A and B are shown apart, each in its own frame.
Chain A
Amino acid sequence: MNSTTEQAPALSEARRVAEPARGSTPGAGPKKRKRSKPPQQSFRSRLRRDKQMLLMMVPGVAFLLLFFYIPILGNVIAFQDYQPYLGIGDSLWVGWQNFVDLFGNPDFVHAFWNTLYLAAWQLVFLFPVPLVLALIVDSLISTRVRRIFQSIAYLPHFLSWVLVIAFFQQMLGGAGFVNNLLRDWGMEPIPFMTNPETFPVMVVIQMIWKDAGWAMIIFLAALASIDASLYEAAAADGAGRWRRMWHITLPGLRPVIVLLLILRIGDILSVGFEQFILQRDAVGAGAAEVLDTFTYYTGVVGGGWSSGAAAGLAKGVVSALLIYGANKLAHRFGEDGIFAKQVR
């Protein structure tokens, strides 16, 4: 892993040297020392040399500007009374008024708490599932069983949310397979999909169905990278199955668990946008309204551009703070987190 990250600078350095040193003989001893400190080139000559490379970056950079950075700046309309026919330039600036209004708006406050509530459900009940699945799969001896299970478990990740919800409705909906069976057996149908009270459970089950298998991959990779001789030594010292899991497996997985938790926490306010928009009609806004759907219905559907943007911005800022905080906490516990990883 380290060698590959070193490669790019090493290569470019070689290139930097190769061009001005055309006349001289390469490879001699003292030359090598010079190589570690490449001759300073002017910005213009470097620009000329990298011209084609820079050209190659144009499409990507254009994309990032158009669909990422400029829209980020577009968030300023959260501080305006944005009117589409006036545009950003001429709309009135209103300062923090949109945010004041938002937090006075019971719908927004409800969406906010509902988001946190659903996020907590996901963190507690969703996060451990792939880990447990990975431990089970890792303990399988037969590679065939293992491969078959993995093939099945990864599949739903590639299905769209529309398909997933369609599947759930056909299975568990009011006119779905299970309820038809229940009716046939003379029992009351159970409103799995439309009961607002059990909606958080349903959401978590849907997420497990779709992504738990996929999320297993990273844990499996981490498990495979744990040195088997550690287990052997521990077993020789008399550690049983659970001792080995506690003292070898879990510490070995700790960096991955922490990294995934941080990413999860940063993403936690996007509890699952498509999933909610697809089911909001069925369970009602009371249970399925989250910050993202609030933004969508207020802004795009209702035309309240500025309050929608303000809600989106509030969510973005809170998410950023959460990532930062979680990462700080990870450092406190002696883990890399995400930032240190990049500097290395």
Chain B
Amino acid sequence: MKKLNIRNIDQGVLMKLNKILKNAFLVTIACLALSACATSKKSSGQMQGDVYTGKDTVEYLASGVPDRVFFATNESVLTTASRETLRKQAAWLRKNSSITIVLEGHADERGTREYNLALGERRANAAKDYLMTYGISSDRISVLSYGKERPVDSGSNPLSWSKNRRSVSVKAN
């Protein structure tokens, strides 16, 4: 939890704080103040780094099988949590062998439209590749990038953007 707090702080502020607050007593007070900030943020959702870790927008393909994974800004690397979600999806797909899915790749609004279309495609393919390594045939998976065209959260803030950087597995039949 401590780690999460630090990542939420602006780096510049952190450096200035380090310089100024040499006194251990003051540092303790600063830590208290910062964790207070972090708790008030938590109520609206969660992020690790800038990857969304909350459940606000998540839907379920089946009980215990979340439909989406989230990405860091400009990234298409799957996080540990994403891989876990995709393993659950793979298990579900193996059990339901007639089901086909569309992986819809998305980006946040903080990028140019055309680059984001490519990025959405890359994200959806990262999810597809992982599902394939768990035995799901590529015939059952198609990929569709929406770039930044279909946000789930219309906010203009880092939390909203983190919910929008996603790949969603949608049942196609």
- Same assembly: no
Chain B residues near A (Cβ < 8 Å): none
